[in-house]
Amino acid sequence: MAQGCVYLVGAGPGDPDLLTVKALRLIQGAEVVVFDRLVSDEILDLIPTGTTRIYAGKALNRHAMPQDEINALLLNLARAGRRVVRLKGGDPFTFGRGSEEAEHLARHHVRFEVVPGITAAAGCSAYAGIPLTHRGLATGVRYVTGHLRDNNELDHDWARLVDGDTTLVCYMGLVTLPEIVRGLLDAGLDPATPAAVVQNGTTPRQRHVLATVATLADQVAEAGLKSPATIIIGKVVALADTLNWFAPGEVHIEEVRRLG
């Protein structure tokens, strides 16, 4: 791996076996690893002793390190000729702000490479037995954020998100789950649409709730699910009954009717 280069590396959703070969090689060869809150302990254990670790994690509404400081840190490390791995949960280019960091490096003519990782949608869906597309149930999939804008509003055109043939995956939506559900139902989504929330997907701490859009928010509150959690809404969720091969933790399953 090159000196003075920043590798923006996806660590996947948690299970260390889901790292790419390239990610593992880069982690093992780095001089400095700058990592996020969502990178699992099992993956951090793969960083060699002697490698400098810098935590740049962010908790919701509590910015441990502001984005411009992270950008400046990566720039300075690269300019100092270090081999830098910027390790991010999931995929760096999916709700990961990896593109902002890459833009900053590009603007300052610092070399970087992007190593894709398994994004939460792929990891959680696979480990909860929910295919994102399935013949006859979903012809497409859509990823959206449930994170509030600065004005504290969810800025979605709900009518455009209501589509019985498209699976909807919502990142960062646990806190706003009641608003998301209300927005979709008000815009005409069938309340019987199967829906799931997967917490700590792909790890031994995975827990998930299967319900319908009408009951999801209450069931998730009752089960006490915590972040990180990913919401999956669509007819494909009904397949979890039969495809649920990985169930390490407590699972709440409501009988869902297969639509379509």
Number of chain residues interacting with ligand SAH (CB under 6 A)? 24
Query: Which of 26, 71, 85, 90 lies at the binding interface for ligand SAH (CB under 6 A)?
Result: 90
- Pairing between strand 58-59 and 229-233? unpaired
**Site membership for ligand SAH, residue 124 (CB under 6 A):** yes
- Using CB under 6 A as the binding rule, whether residue 201 contacts ligand SAH is answered as yes
Using the rule CB under 6 A, which residue among 19, 172, 196, 232 binds ligand SAH?
A: 172
Rank residues 82 and 112 by Cβ distance to ligand SAH and give the closer one: 112
Angle at alpha carbon of residue 118, lines to 29 and 59, rounded to 5°: 85
Q: Which residues between 27 and 66 bind ligand SAH (CB under 6 A)?
A: 38
Beta bridge partners of 194: 212
- Measured CA to CA, the distance from residue 133 to residue 147 in angstroms comes to 24
Judged by CB under 6 A, which of 27, 91, 181, 234 binds ligand SAH? Answer: 91
Beta bridge mates, 35: 55, 87
On whether the CB atoms of residues 136 and 25 are closer than 8 A, the answer is: no
Residue type, 12: G
Q: Which CB, 79 or 205, lies closer to ligand SAH?
A: 205
Residue 193 near residue 238 (C-beta atoms within 8 A): no
Among 116, 131, 228, 234, interactor with ligand SAH by CB under 6 A: 228
> Of 15, 36, 88, 91, which residue is the catalytic one?
36
For ligand SAH, the closer CB: 119 or 167: 119
> Pairing relation of β-strands 166-171 and 229-233?
antiparallel
Q: Does 67 bind ligand SAH (CB under 6 A)?
A: no
> Cα separation of 86 and 53, whole Å?
10
Please pick, from the candidates 85, 171, 176, 212, the single residue that binds ligand SAH as defined by CB under 6 A: 171
Number of C-beta neighbours around residue 2 at 10 A: 11
SS3 126: helix
Q: From the list 7, 35, 95, 112, which residue makes contact with ligand SAH (rule: CB under 6 A)? A: 95
Q: Is 119 one of the binding residues for ligand SAH (CB under 6 A)?
A: yes
**Cβ–Cβ under 8 Å, residues 189 and 235:** no
Number of Cα atoms under 13 Å in the Cβ half of residue 105: 26
Active site residue 36: yes
Only segment of 62-70, 119-127, 186-194, 217-225 that touches ligand SAH (CB under 6 A): 119-127
Catalytic residues: 36, 58
**List of residues contacting ligand SAH (CB under 6 A):** 13-14, 38, 88-91, 94-96, 119-120, 124, 171-172, 198-202, 227-230
